[in-house]
Structure 1
């Protein structure tokens, strides 16, 4: 049974813990993994690979990710797909698949994010990120102009666990020196929001796609459709 959060708490939270993907940013083209240039890079080694073969390999990579205890090593993830495609996972190919590209080539920040983060920061709201991601997430955020807003990062590939493991949430709140009740967690996964509530955090479900009417516990998860809806939870700075 979910604990229904107070939609307008009498004592506002002191910090916001934000998921990254789906809350702060999204992949250009709609796919998180593998990176958007995966097919182009692999085709340079074997131009005969078909779209169906790529789809099968990516599905296999998805299953590999889903069954891992934490966000797996990126080279191992790529190697699983390359093996299915019959392409040797050579060191130079693995390096090419993760070669640096400008973040804004593959990622975009949602329109309201930067202005909202600026407003929250001006009101003294402390912020951290809790994300199932690889270790380069802070650098991606820096490239996209939002790293400066966050005091701490809880990243699955760094911590060796992923949400809903309590260590993910608590790493962020502990880093801020705050209790769970002092922190508002925001994620685009209703299951992960429910887990945060069970751990004593305030929480909101980021429902950008309008699926709340299909979820049986929608009211308990206090869905929002834009980050700007958080601003009303925090009074203006005196």
Structure 2
């Protein structure tokens, strides 16, 4: 079936909490790329101005392969080292520090238009909320800076737990932190297969498919549709 509301909007049992993935569900990168950060090329070019767009593209692909091969979200410096080595640029301590320097999150990230109003309504209804995300440890700080951190009681973050979804520990960390059983939690993710894994563990689940995707996993096209399920 294609993305959009599931043919059957019901979820098993009373939902007392919603567990949210972050990227693709709550927030998105301005410019469309999650990693490396949007200022990666600009920062490296200050050291090696002769590098080409094609060389950067190949380095980003090498970084993607490194991320995909890691059992959990890797150390950010190690990720940057892989790309810098691919570019023939020495990963000096000052350069690594500059690549991870703090910048206002609103310069590179934004929430989807339906996020805040949906979170406010869930809060009004007393539906509890947590985040389950393959991300670096500073994700709660990013959410705070974007104005949504106040909505969440707990975070399950891959770089902190040492595992990625669909490892059951990711899902269970969030529901346990809320003191709830899996069946009392609705899990949302933009990857249908991660939703499928959650459903197999006893969670209710919906894939958030903001653009059409062929999947047999129950889905919604936006967060506002979740309000009919809780």
Q: TM-score normalised by the shorter chain: which range applies? A: over 0.9
Give me the CA root mean square deviation. 1.3
Q: Please, which of 123, 147, 151 is the counterpart of residue 125 of structure 2?
A: 123
Rounded Cα–Cα distance in structure 2 between residues aligned with 1:95 and 1:157:
19
Rounded Cα–Cα distance in structure 2 between residues aligned with 1:111 and 1:167:
30
1:48 corresponds in structure 2 to 50
1:152 corresponds in structure 2 to 154
Larger RCO of the pair (alpha carbons < 8 Å, separation 6+): 2
Rounded Cα–Cα distance in structure 2 between residues aligned with 1:195 and 1:102:
34
1:62 corresponds in structure 2 to 64
How far apart are 1:12 and its partner, in Å? 2.8
Q: Indicate conservation of the 8 Å contact 2:13/2:183, yes or no.
A: no
- Aligned to 1:111, what secondary structure does the other structure show? coil
Rounded Cα–Cα distance in structure 1 between residues aligned with 2:12 and 2:100:
47
Rounded Cα–Cα distance in structure 2 between residues aligned with 1:135 and 1:175:
17
Alignment of 1:74-223 (within 5 A): 74-211=76-213, 214-215=214-215, 217=216, 221-223=217-219
* CA spacing shift, 1:205–1:45, aligned 2, 3 Å: same
What is the number of residues matched between the two proteins?
225
Rounded Cα–Cα distance in structure 1 between residues aligned with 2:159 and 2:11:
33
| Long gaps (5+) in structure 2 | 1-5
TM-score, normalised by the number of residues in structure 2: 0.95
How far apart are 1:168 and its partner, in Å? 0.2
- Aligned to 2:219, what secondary structure does the other structure show? coil
How far apart are 1:11 and its partner, in Å? 3.7
Q: Indicate conservation of the 8 Å contact 1:69/1:162, yes or no.
A: yes
TM-score, normalised by the number of residues in structure 1: 0.92
- Aligned to 1:170, what secondary structure does the other structure show? helix
Rounded Cα–Cα distance in structure 1 between residues aligned with 2:128 and 2:140:
17
Q: After superposition, what is the alpha-carbon deviation per residue over 1:50-88, rounded to whole angstroms, capped at 9, x for unaligned? A: 000000000000000000000000000000000010111
| Long gaps (5+) in structure 1 | none
How far apart are 1:5 and its partner, in Å? 10
How far apart are 1:7 and its partner, in Å? 2.4
Q: Indicate conservation of the 8 Å contact 1:12/1:233, yes or no.
A: no
Rounded Cα–Cα distance in structure 2 between residues aligned with 1:89 and 1:9:
49
* CA spacing shift, 1:84–1:9, aligned 2, 3 Å: closer
- Aligned to 1:59, what secondary structure does the other structure show? helix
* CA spacing shift, 1:77–1:10, aligned 2, 3 Å: closer
2:224 corresponds in structure 1 to 228
